[in-house]
Amino acid sequence: MSADRIALKGLRARGRHGVLAAERELGQEFVVDATLFLDTAPAAASDDLTLTVHYGELAQALVKVVEGEPVQLIETLAQRLADVCLAYEAVRSVEVSVHKPAAPIPLPFDDVVVTIERGRS
């Protein structure tokens, strides 16, 4: 299997995800990291964008999910984002991290992150 990857890191979007009513009402910023594992050799050999992943389009699709239908768990959000990545034919597997730096935790903290790995079934 190829070790090639395309990584999109620090993608920011505002969403209304969370268990608390205030999170859904006010919303907050989420940060997404996505690493796609694929074989980039065919695209590189032909210089053909259609044989890889257009990361600009991917970024827009991921932001649409974050800004879209609210969910309670960032685990659910991460799964939806992974599904978007796996919709690209060239992608064999994906690692998605969802950061929730403004999570409602009444203690000092830097970040809350859920990371999942998914592959084609």
Q: Which residues are catalytic?
A: 100
C-beta of residue 43 within 8 angstroms of C-beta of residue 51? yes
Kindly report the number of other CB atoms within 10 A of residue 48's CB atom. Answer: 10
C-beta of residue 7 within 8 angstroms of C-beta of residue 34? yes
Q: In Å, how far from its chain's centre is CA 106? A: 26
C-beta of residue 17 within 8 angstroms of C-beta of residue 70? yes
